[in-house]
Structures are given as C-alpha cells and as structure tokens.
Amino acid sequence: MVRPPGNTRLKSARVAAGYHSQQALADALGVGVRQVRRWESDTPPWPQPEVGQALTRILGQDLESLGFPPPGGAQVDRGRRTVLAATAAAVGLAAVPTQAVAVQPASVAADFENVTRSHRRLYWSVAPATLHPAALSHATLGCALLPETAGQTRQRTAAALAETWLLAGRIEFFDLRDAARAQQTLLRALQAAGEADDPLLGAAVLAHTAFIPGWAGDRDAAVERMVAARTYARRGPASVELLAWLDAVEAECETRCGHTRTALHLIQHAEDVIAEGSEYGSPECPEWLDWFSLVRLAAFKGNTQLKAGHLPQARETLLEVLDALEPSEEKQRTVVLGDLAAVEAAAGEPEAACGYAVRALDQLERTWYAMGMDRVREVRRALVPHQHERCVRELDDRLYGWSTTVSALAR
C-alpha cells in the first residue's frame, strides 16, 4: 500500500522555519514528539489553544494554513482546499471557494506550465520590476486553479506554481534586494513543491533560502538549510547539475561568511561531480535549472578565488568565464565584469579596475541587475585610495550620472 503523505503543509512550514526534525519542533513548543507526529499525520487533531497559538507564532501561519481542519464539524474538503489557497487568502488575494468548485480539465496543467516556462525565459531579459508583478499574478491564478484539479493535473499545476513562486522569490532577493519578502515567497514555493511531491524542486527552494542567512553572515543557519536541501535532493534522483549547484550555493554562503578554503573545496567537489557524471551518465537535469552551468560554476569559483586573495587565479578564471558567456547572459556578465574590476582594484591597478567597472555600468544600462550594481559599488569603495586619479573621477561621472543614479534609487 502507498503510504499517505500526511500533513505536508505543516511539514513544509516546519522545515522552512528551521525545525528540521519533529523532535526539534516538539522541543520548541514544549510538547512530546508523539504529538508532532499526530499533527503531521493524515488526520491532524486541532491543537489545544495555548499550543496552537505558539505553533502559529513560530511558523508564521494560521492553523488552517498549516493543515489543521477546523474543529466543531466544519471540516474542510482537503481535496478541494490546499495550503496555497489558504496562503492566497492570508496575503489578501481573492478568496478561493471551498464548496461547489468546478473541476478543471487536464489541459489546464499544460496551459499553466506554458506561462510558467515563458516567465522563466523572460527573467533573463525583462526588467525585474516588470516581470515580478506578472509572476505574482500568475501565482494568484495558480492558487485559484489548484483546488479545482486532481490527480496528475493537480501535481503538475502545483509543480508549476512552486516554480512560479521560486521565480518571484529569486527576483525579490537577487533583483529587488528584499530578503524578508523573499523568505515568505520561498516558503510558499516550498509548500507548493510539497503539494506536488517534487523533492528536487523542494531542494532548489531550500537552497535558495540558504542564500538569505548566508548573505547576512549567519553561517549556522545557511548550513542547516543546505543540509535540508541535500536531504531533499537525495530523494531525487538528482542530476549532477543539481548536485553541483548545491555545492556552488554552499560555497557562495561559505565565501560570504569568510570561509573561503571550505568554499574552494566545495567548488572542487562540484567540478568532480560534473566530470564523473559526464563519464558515467546522470539523471536528466530539471528543465527549470536554467540558472546554472559549467560557466556559472566557474564564475562562482572566480569570485571565491578573489575573496581568498588568489588574484592571478581569479583573473584567469573570470576572463575565461567572460569569453564563454552567451550573449543572452547579460545579468551574469555584469557580475563577472564587477569581479574582474575588484581583482584589478585589489592588485593596485585602478585604471584596469575602472575599465571593467565602466563596462559593467554599460551593461547595467541595458539590463538592470542589483547584484551587478553591488559589485560596482564594492569596487568603488576599494578605489578610495585612488579617488583623485582621473580614471576614478571618470568612473564617478558614470556611476553617479542622472540615469544610473535614478535607476538605482528607483529600485
């Protein structure tokens, strides 16, 4: 017999909040682990008032959103209402009816997936402030559609919805620099991946959540989330690309937290994983994993070499990346140019540093990317000892021109 999935809403929220075991949540609430097991079963009992309040406080959602059917006989039809519908109501979107809903045809999944796929491609060229509301609107549609589907149609719709929330979260974190909002959006993506029973997509979402504490220098929290991401990936089977990307994410977090030696070991492991997969074969790479490649891995490596002070190696790596980037990889190009500028600034070559920084600004005028602008600003701070030189003043003229300044402040 197939084992029931249990209360996936509560499980997803627990993991996203950092409680990676039932025992950890039980300890936080001061209850027995047996009680948590009952809550995560297919028929979770309504918690006692005090415990229920503590549960909603530490997980950030109301009890119905966490998968508990209301007491007093007001049983919610679990096949009709999902955590995603509850999430939509919680954030002020249109309410989803719980009774007499229509049953959507199987074609709805393919239609919804097509728009998700288009948004994925548009991310690389469309301004984030333009694409973000479109992705959120598409997610709202998915929240409305999901309760009206069943079986494989429901699973495919949920997976596409998870990817849409993931895209929105990526824009919020990498482009709009709103980590708090991204955290909540990625939680919705994880819950949708749970509805789809897609552990690889869940691994991708969890790894993205690791960026948030990693950027803030909270190494322990980043490592915990990467442990969860790798756990989900083991349920795959995961492709070598996904496994290597998980190494790269953890390397990025380690670099941000000052552990460059560990980061370089992780990148070496990622390179070995890809080489071994190329030799012996690997499961197919997920279609949605379009933000990673061998070139992107090399870009991670070049940045880590830079932060480790290995300037000749970083210069060589980053120049090779710059040559290998496809014309469509405009956002990544600004980051690489910024890192090359940082290499030259650290090497005491202000003219070369300014040259790369100006090229990055040229690219940013065509395709805005907050991460790229951050790189340029870091370079300018590194050039303070040379700020009276002509090349630096010319960089300032570009960096603080009307169009660049207004664009930066508007975002």
Tell me the C-alpha distance between 39 and 6, whole Å.
Answer: 9
What pLDDT, on a 0 to 100 scale, did the predictor assign at position 149? 81
Tell me the C-alpha distance between 379 and 176, whole Å.
Answer: 20
- Architecture of the domain spanning 1-68: Orthogonal Bundle (1.10)
Q: pLDDT of 218-250, one tens digit each?
A: 999 999 999 999 999 999 899 999 999 999 999
Q: Token pair of 341, please?
A: 């500028």
Cβ within 8 Å of residue 177, ≥6 positions away: 370, 411
329-357: b (≥16 Cβ within 10 Å) or e:
bbbbbbbbbbbbbbbbbbeebbebbbbbb
Looking at every residue in the chain, the average pLDDT score rounds to 87
Q: pLDDT of 22-37, one tens digit each?
A: 998 999 899 999 999 9
Q: pLDDT of 164-188, one tens digit each?
A: 999 999 999 999 999 999 999 999 9
Q: How many CA atoms lie within 13 A of 70 on its CB side?
A: 9
User: Is the torsion defined by CA of 160, 164, 167, 169 positive or negative?
Assistant: negative
Q: Token pair of 172, please?
A: 């919020």
What pLDDT, on a 0 to 100 scale, did the predictor assign at position 72? 64
**Segments making up each domain of the chain, as ranges:** 1-68, 81-197, 311-411
Higher pLDDT, 79 or 146: 146
Q: What is the largest CA-CA distance in the chain?
A: 76
Tell me the C-alpha distance between 118 and 38, whole Å.
Answer: 41
Would you say residue 256 has pLDDT above 80?
A: yes
What pLDDT, on a 0 to 100 scale, did the predictor assign at position 407? 54
Would you say residue 163 has pLDDT above 80?
A: yes
Inter-residue contact 344 to 353 (CB < 8 Å): yes
Q: Of 98-112, 137-151, 289-303, which gets the smallest average pLDDT?
A: 98-112
SS3 label, residue 210: helix
Rounding to the nearest 10 degrees, give the CA dihedral for residues 199, 292, 154, 171.
Answer: 110
Would you say residue 408 has pLDDT above 60?
A: no
Tokens 């789809």 correspond to what residue?
196
Q: Token pair of 87, please?
A: 């999430």
DSSP string for residues in 216-250 = TT-HHHHHHHHHHHHHHHHTSPPPHHHHHHHHHHH
Number of Cβ atoms within 10 Å of the Cβ of 404? 18
In the structure, what pLDDT confidence band is assigned to residue 99 with cuts at 50, 70 and 90? very low
What pLDDT, on a 0 to 100 scale, did the predictor assign at position 297? 96
In the structure, what pLDDT confidence band is assigned to residue 98 with cuts at 50, 70 and 90? very low
